[in-house]
């Protein structure tokens, strides 16, 4: 065992067994935090010990984060260098290449792929990396070099934005780390449609790969359907359903830039004549559509996280219930209502309850016909509930 790494120790009542059984995080209130521990540089490696000083795992440390330690390797003498990154990335890549015949997918899904706090989405020859933990931030250069060597991509973009980075005490920045910035939005083929991803200035990495299997389910409902896609981002469910034979799709979003990309995607998909957009607040647009007497065969609402934390859970559940209540009257008899949540704090049971209440408050009845999750390129770490954040429910109303 190497003696180069400092040690940090769990408190006597902390649950060391959970770490031994695969839970990847140690919170600040579970650790003995003396001056020496607090002096460990953010992103450094350390040996985690239990209260009896028995070593458990190699961890990364950030004394300024609520998640003060993240398990990085079960081998206590592991050296986290470029070769280490290459091994993790090779393992992740093998899974995606088995799933997809084109290089458009989430390549790394943080803890579930053994790279805590790191998200990597691949767009053909371009990879967008979100280093959302201090340890990855300080090792970004070797991570990027390993990424190029393993995948062969020519462009690596560092997307250092979002709530997760602020919780780690990291600055926000988006830069081209390797290669050149794309001159235009990138075309991303999924489910028979073409989506446009703004990898430099768009939301998150530019597109949401996680909904791919749920888009596919919705596509199966599409034949001759009149579709309403609310919180559509760059085309979401609407473009997939047009690819499946929908008669029309109306995409609603608050972002004019996202709707422009959705229109470009519709044009690239050859369905611009059946596609329309409407910019506005989703709640307001849903109410306005009802006043206008509009009805749809399929209505889908895929909002941002209304409950991003436990503190926001109750307010978030009320928002999900309201969305269901406002969307339900727009569904034709025998039509379908899709409701989605990317809030990890709202588990499936609570989210389903909120949606069902909203449908009931609208005076309708819904059969739950499909429950979906993130795609297989977003693996779930069973010990970490937060890695299974996405839920998609489809009701026949």
Q: Which of 149-153, 200-204, 213-217, 236-240 has the lowest mean pLDDT?
A: 200-204
Predicted confidence band at 386 (pLDDT cuts at 50, 70, 90)?
A: confident
Mean pLDDT of 262-276: 98
Q: Are 307 and 313 in contact (CB under 8 A)?
A: yes
Predicted confidence band at 13 (pLDDT cuts at 50, 70, 90)?
A: confident
**Residues of the chain with pLDDT > 70: what percent?**
99
> What is the model's pTM?
0.94
Q: Which two tokens stand for residue 204?
A: 């998150």
Name the E strands within the chain: 7-9, 25-27, 45-49, 55-61, 67-73, 104-109, 118-123, 126-131, 155-160, 173-178, 186-190, 193-197, 226-230, 248-253, 275-279, 296-301, 331-341, 367-372, 391-396
Confidence (pLDDT) at 73: 97
Predicted confidence band at 3 (pLDDT cuts at 50, 70, 90)?
A: low
Confidence (pLDDT) at 397: 98
- Counting Cβ atoms within 10 Å, is residue 7 exposed (0-12), middle (13-18) or buried (19+)? middle
Burial readout 236-254 (b: 16 or more C-beta within 10 A, e: otherwise): bbbbbbbbbebebbbbbbe
Phi and psi at 33, nearest 5°, equal: -115, 75
Which residue ranges form the domains of the chain, and what is each CATH number?
Answer: 7-73 (2.30.130.10), 82-178 (3.30.750.80), 196-396 (3.40.50.150)
Confidence (pLDDT) at 158: 96
Confidence (pLDDT) at 242: 98
Q: Are 262 and 234 in contact (CB under 8 A)?
A: yes
pLDDT at 296 over 50: yes
Phi and psi at 125, nearest 5°, equal: -90, 5
Mean pLDDT of the chain: 95
Query: DSSP of 289-305, one letter per residue?
Result: HHHTT--EEEEEE----
pLDDT at 1 over 50: no
Residue 156: how many CB atoms within 10 A of its CB? 22
- Per-residue three-class SS string for 27-54: EHHHECCCHHHHCCCCCCEEEEECCCCC
Q: Are 268 and 194 in contact (CB under 8 A)?
A: yes
Mean pLDDT of 354-372: 97
Predicted confidence band at 379 (pLDDT cuts at 50, 70, 90)?
A: very high
Name the more confident of 151 and 201: 151
Element (DSSP H or E) covering residue 262: helix 256-269
pLDDT at 54 over 90: yes
For the stretch 155-212, pLDDT in tens is 999 998 888 888 898 999 999 999 999 999 999 999 999 999 999 988 888 999 999 9
Q: Are 195 and 239 in contact (CB under 8 A)?
A: yes
Q: Which of 35-44, 92-101, 145-154 has the lowest mean pLDDT?
A: 35-44
For the stretch 108-130, pLDDT in tens is 999 999 999 999 999 999 999 99
Cα-trace Rg, the chain = 22
């Amino acid at each position: 065992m190497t003696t180069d790494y400092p040690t940090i120790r769990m408190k006597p009542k902390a649950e060391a067994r959970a770490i031994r059984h695969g839970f990847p995080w140690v919170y600040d209130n579970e650790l003995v935090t003396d001056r020496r521990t607090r002096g460990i540089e953010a992103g450094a490696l350390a040996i985690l010990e239990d209260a009896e000083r028995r070593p458990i795992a190699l961890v990364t440390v950030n004394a300024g984060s609520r998640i003060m330690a993240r398990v990085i390797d079960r081998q206590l003498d592991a050296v986290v260098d470029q070769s280490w990154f290459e091994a993790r990335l090779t393992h992740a890549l093998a899974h995606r290449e088995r799933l997809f015949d084109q290089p458009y997918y989430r390549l790394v899904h943080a803890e579930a792929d053994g790279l805590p706090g790191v998200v990597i989405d691949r767009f053909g020859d371009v990879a967008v990396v979100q280093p959302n933990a201090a340890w990855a931030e300080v090792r970004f250069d070797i991570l990027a070099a390993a990424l190029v060597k393993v995948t062969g991509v020519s462009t690596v973009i560092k997307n250092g934005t979002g709530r997760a980075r602020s919780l780690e005490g990291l600055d926000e920045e988006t830069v081209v780390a390797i290669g050149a910035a794309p001159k235009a939005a990138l075309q991303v083929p999924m489910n028979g449609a073409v989506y446009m991803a703004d990898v430099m200035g768009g939301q998150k990495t530019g597109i949401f790969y996680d909904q791919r299997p749920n888009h596919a389910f919705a596509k199966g409902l599409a034949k001759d359907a009149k579709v309403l896609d609310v919180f559509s981002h760059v085309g979401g469910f609407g473009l997939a359903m047009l690819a499946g034979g929908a008669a029309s799709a109306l995409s609603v979003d608050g972002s004019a830039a996202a709707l422009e990309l959705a229109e470009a995607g519709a044009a690239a998909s050859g369905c611009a004549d059946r596609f329309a957009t409407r910019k506005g607040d989703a709640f307001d647009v849903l109410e306005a559509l009802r006043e206008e007497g509009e009805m749809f065969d399929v209505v889908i609402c895929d909002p941002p996280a209304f409950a991003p934390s436990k503190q926001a859970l109750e307010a978030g559940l009320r928002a999900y219930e309201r969305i269901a209540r406002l969307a339900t009257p727009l569904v034709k008899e025998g039509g379908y209502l899709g409701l989605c949540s990317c809030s990890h704090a709202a588990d499936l049971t609570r989210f389903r309850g909120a949606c069902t209440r909203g449908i009931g408050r609208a005076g309708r009845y819904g059969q739950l016909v499909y429950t979906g999750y993130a795609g297989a390129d977003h693996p779930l770490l069973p010990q970490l509930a937060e890695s299974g954040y996405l839920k998609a429910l489809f009701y026949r109303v």
